[in-house]
Structure 1
Amino acid sequence: MSAAPTPASDRHHGTDEKVQDQPHPDQDPEKHPDSASIENTPPVYSAFTLWQKRAIVLAAATTALFSPMTAQIYFPALPAISRDLGVSTSKINLTVTTYMILQGITPMFIGSLADSGGRRPAYLICFTIYIAANIGLALAPNYAALLALRCLQSAGSASTVSLCYAVVADVVTSAERGQYIGLMAVPVVLGPALGPVIGGLLSQYLGWRSIFWFLTIFGAITTILVLAFYPETCRHIVGDGSLTPPLAYRSLWQILKSRRSRTTPSGPDLTQQASNSSKAKSKFKFKAPNVLESVLLLCQKETGVLLGFSSICFAGFYCMATAMPTLFERNYGYNQVEIGLMFLPVAVGSIIASFIAGAFINRNFKRHCDKLGIPYDRSRQQDLAGFPIERARLEIGFPLLMIAAFTLIGWGWAIDRKTHVAVPAVLSGLMGVGIVGFNNTANSLLIDIHPGKPGTASAANNLTRCLVGAGASAAIVPMIDAMGAGWACTLVGSLYIVGCPVLILLMVRGVRWREELKIKQDKKQKAKEEL
């Protein structure tokens, strides 16, 4: 690990984040530059180096690949599973809906556990469930077993996305969050795009059961790597990362490194390690996870508005992904492999959005800091009380949202009129840019306004997104059958445009809502202390 954070004078105001004090009117920073700098500069947010942070976030993003990939890898095999198990396509589609329902509910438990008990235990619980479910699915004898085990599979994989956002909040400040959200989004968006390609190839040449054997092996390898190398990042346990966690929270690499240092002790290093371990033990107090906390977050004005709208936005992606196999088989006569390949343009667009949106998110944050005369330092957490973080994020999100709306409508009409396949391919790529780019900005904002509980906040996001997505997935094919692909996609895309005033309200009232919530929470805490 790198050196411990620079000491600083901290105060809390408006959020749970560490903030930057203003110089005293009587103090002249030019006469006392060193003392003024030390007194007014907040501590370095993370003890991890730049490349350590990148590696940690990329590793977390790789684990987050499992949730979307597991959902999408299944799609090209739906007709084959339907024939093999002797059930209707509607019943097989129900396994997609139930998967998404569990995908929304499970993170409420795991996200709260991760915030109170650490990231590593949460990861290990998730992957143990996931591997067991995949083995069962590969051997599933009938539809009932398939339906039940898909729910269990979802319970294991669903929380990996929430955990990834929590890890980003552990090691990254608001000023540089856009860059890391973009890095994190690459594997996450590759999952929905590469999943159908892999699923189509496996199903076509090895049978649909091979999909679940593939996921079993992939999950087992990832679990071994997490056990061996992944460090605990939860600030509740390791602070800025400089504290040595309790033994149960250390990776095998950390344990071996610690034992090696004992066999070749160096006085000051050994003393410092013992001191850090002691500090971590005194800092860590396990709290029972509150599974309702994610639901309660939805009752807050700002969080409820943000998550409600972003879930509707992401529902468009689920509509496209669910309808694509049926539409391309019906309108273009494509087989499972060809259907899987049609998801690749979405992957390309999503990757482009991840890098472009991340850069603009950071740049717009700096622009607002300069406008307000607030010092900008990526390594130190800014005070967000009174800072228009909603405007800084959503100014980037609005254009991306409009791209998503119009390309979704165009994609539906292109397939409805059976245009050349290049047209829906290009439009789906642009749709990936819009939907993923907007969701990156919304997710950044969500972590910004809930810095102390990123896992719980991400779980609330997962809950709304997956429940709304489950409804959209179940409804889109009947909608297409009833009104055609063009009008069905027009209806969904129009919701993006109609909902824009809600985002404008969030930009205008967001700061005030946060202040009101802080006052309310302070009064509640004071009442508890008086009791």
Structure 2
Amino acid sequence: MMRVNEENRSRPNAGATEPYSIFDKRQKALIVFIAATAATFSGFASNIYFPALATVASDLDVTSELINLTVTSYLIFQGIAPSIWGPLSDAKGRRVAYCCTFLVFLGACVGLAETWNYTTLVILRSLQSSGSASTISVGSGVIGDITSPEERGGYMGFFQAGLLAPVAVGPVIGGAIAASLGWRAIFWFLTIYSGAFLVLLIISLPETLRSIVGNGGARPSNPIAKYPLNFYQKTTKVKFTSQVEPIKATEKAKIDVTGPIRILFSKQATPLVVFVAIYHAVWQMSITSMAVLFQNGYNLSEAQIGFTFVANGAGSIIGTLITGKILDVEYGRAKADHAPALSQNGSEAGIEQSQENNLSFPLEKARLRLLPILALLQCMSILTFGWTIQYRVHIAVPITTTFITGWTAVSIISIVTTYLIDVFTEQKAASSASLNLARCLLAAGATSIVTPMTRAVGTGWTFAIAVAVQLVALIGVGIQQRFGCKWRVAAEKAKRQADLET
């Protein structure tokens, strides 16, 4: 029998009678809070370290270029690791993936707190990234599990806002800790934080993977997938019956480690992924260079440098919250405009028509319309950032531009992540991992060359060149808006045909 895509259950006129998720608003809020807090570790481990870069270089007697390579190595593994953990969470469950990643992160933090060697620092930062970066892709999978497309943008906005809190407060905490206790104390802080949160996660987060628990009504047999507070799950006000049949004991979910790569190079994703990767890379170039540029140009201390990152973090949080709500409004408008007239008699023809309607839903219109505006705003802010620093304009001006850059960069990532989850409904974490892979690997290369570039051509021209590349990348958005629906329909029909043949 033809398998109906799980997203179609929640789309207009799909004919579903059961709720997409049994979790009510308060339960969803708790789950999103836990997932967002888990995702903060990737940001904390990255941003808390920035104010101490110059101090670490001096302490280990290496150049700033070599210390920047610790940022580069972190970004490389931040891109690679989710390609393993994401498919694991899509196959074995979100809780299993979370437990494994946090154990890796915890061990790396202890090692970093005790390291006195540059090579060890690079290796352990890579390991730390492998443990923390995947919390974002796994968390994106959790949001996709419990939210229907109509509400997904808003919840994704809350998720992104929560995980971006470290962008605002991480550098402040890092600067204060490094100035008072030394840079190694930063990693002891992360050790304590991650250990305490791992206990909270094990106790409080339910399994959400739909192939294991359906809409939340099924009870997992895997002991790791169970959680002590599952009685809270039973207090839902939503009436439900089991939405999907439990996986048979003889079946083994396969971990598809090539899934993120296939998604990365698929027509439904490639134009947008390249676009996001470039904009994210330029954003990371500006963040990574801030500490050195502000220290050299404005003679700031470590603690003062930490506070300069607040505007970037605040813009990231505020922007993604607002953008998430706008996404829900845009989806609602597209849904109302679509409003097909379908057969109401429950006949096979009516069901087929409903499925065809779901395939042709104008998802690109609902999700991607904001991207060109956000992209142009980011280009303007990056250009202003570079030239105002070069000409030593009052520091308030470049700091203000980082607020706009943070707003636009993270909103772009949030929009595209939501879109990919909508498209690749059975590989939610893997789709997020594919985006993460591209943007982090490109950012790794960009951060490794930003310092040599600023020395060679100046800060202004460095970011002017970056903006030129961004403008070219905007073509990818136009391609996706023009051909995305056609590609989605063709891919889904091919998938259905393959299901029929098997």
Corresponding residue number in structure 1 for 2:352: none
Are 2:173 and 1:198 equivalent residues in the alignment?
yes
The alpha carbon displacement at 1:386 in A equals: 0.5
The alpha carbon displacement at 1:406 in A equals: 0.7
Q: 2:389 aligns with which of 394, 409, 415?
A: 415
Query: 2:243 and 2:338 mapped to 1: Cα distance?
Result: 41
Greater alpha carbon shift after TM alignment, 516-525 vs 167-176 = 516-525
Query: 2:357 and 2:82 mapped to 1: Cα distance?
Result: 29
The alpha carbon displacement at 1:418 in A equals: 0.6
Identical positions, percent:
33
Are 2:8 and 1:18 equivalent residues in the alignment?
yes
Greater alpha carbon shift after TM alignment, 383-392 vs 231-240 = 383-392
Are 2:373 and 1:399 equivalent residues in the alignment?
yes
Corresponding residue number in structure 1 for 2:479: 505
Cα 1:383–1:237, aligned 2, differ >3 Å: closer, same or farther?
Answer: farther
Corresponding residue number in structure 1 for 2:363: 389
Is contact 1:45–1:171 with CA below 8 Å preserved after alignment?
yes
**1:226-278 CA-partner distances (Å, limit 9, x unpaired):** 111111111011100011222331112238999xx9xxxxxxxxxx99x9799
Are 2:439 and 1:449 equivalent residues in the alignment?
no
**Counterpart residue type for residue 391 of structure 2:** R
Are 2:261 and 1:299 equivalent residues in the alignment?
no
Are 2:69 and 1:79 equivalent residues in the alignment?
no
Cα 1:56–1:143, aligned 2, differ >3 Å: closer, same or farther?
Answer: same
Q: 1:438 aligns with which of 384, 388, 412?
A: 412
Corresponding residue number in structure 1 for 2:225: 249
Cα 1:171–1:505, aligned 2, differ >3 Å: closer, same or farther?
Answer: same
Query: 1:337 and 1:18 mapped to 2: Cα distance?
Result: 51
The alpha carbon displacement at 1:139 in A equals: 0.6
Q: 1:286 aligns with which of 252, 261, 267?
A: 252
The alpha carbon displacement at 1:475 in A equals: 1.2
Query: 1:186 and 1:334 mapped to 2: Cα distance?
Result: 28
The alpha carbon displacement at 1:501 in A equals: 2.5
The alpha carbon displacement at 1:290 in A equals: 1.7
Are 2:117 and 1:151 equivalent residues in the alignment?
no
**Counterpart residue type for residue 365 of structure 2:** R
Q: 1:119 aligns with which of 90, 94, 109?
A: 94
Kindly report which structure 2 residues correspond to 1:469-484, keeping only aligned pairs within 5 A, or say none. Answer: 469-484=443-458
TM-score (norm 1): 0.86
**Counterpart residue type for residue 434 of structure 2:** A
In structure 1, the gaps of 5 or more residues are 1-9, 24-38, 262-271, 376-380
Corresponding residue number in structure 1 for 2:209: 234
Q: Secondary structure at the match of 2:370?
A: helix
Cα 1:383–1:120, aligned 2, differ >3 Å: closer, same or farther?
Answer: farther
Cα 1:382–1:122, aligned 2, differ >3 Å: closer, same or farther?
Answer: farther
Query: 1:257 and 1:181 mapped to 2: Cα distance?
Result: 21
Cα 1:473–1:279, aligned 2, differ >3 Å: closer, same or farther?
Answer: same
**Counterpart residue type for residue 119 of structure 1:** R
**1:60-116 CA-partner distances (Å, limit 9, x unpaired):** 011001112211111111111111112222211111111111111111111001000
Is contact 2:7–2:148 with CA below 8 Å preserved after alignment?
no
Structure whose alpha-carbon radius of gyration is higher: 1
Corresponding residue number in structure 1 for 2:303: 337
Give the number of equivalent residue pairs.
485
Query: 1:366 and 1:374 mapped to 2: Cα distance?
Result: 14
**Counterpart residue type for residue 228 of structure 1:** I
Cα 1:116–1:382, aligned 2, differ >3 Å: closer, same or farther?
Answer: farther
Query: 1:448 and 1:383 mapped to 2: Cα distance?
Result: 15
Corresponding residue number in structure 1 for 2:345: none
In structure 2, the gaps of 5 or more residues are 342-354
Corresponding residue number in structure 1 for 2:24: 49
Are 2:351 and 1:355 equivalent residues in the alignment?
no
Is contact 1:12–1:19 with CA below 8 Å preserved after alignment?
no
Corresponding residue number in structure 1 for 2:398: 424
Query: 1:257 and 1:494 mapped to 2: Cα distance?
Result: 51
Q: Secondary structure at the match of 1:241?
A: coil
Corresponding residue number in structure 2 for 1:318: 284
Q: Give me the CA root mean square deviation.
A: 2.7
Is contact 1:18–1:383 with CA below 8 Å preserved after alignment?
no
Cα 1:332–1:116, aligned 2, differ >3 Å: closer, same or farther?
Answer: same
The alpha carbon displacement at 1:216 in A equals: 0.1
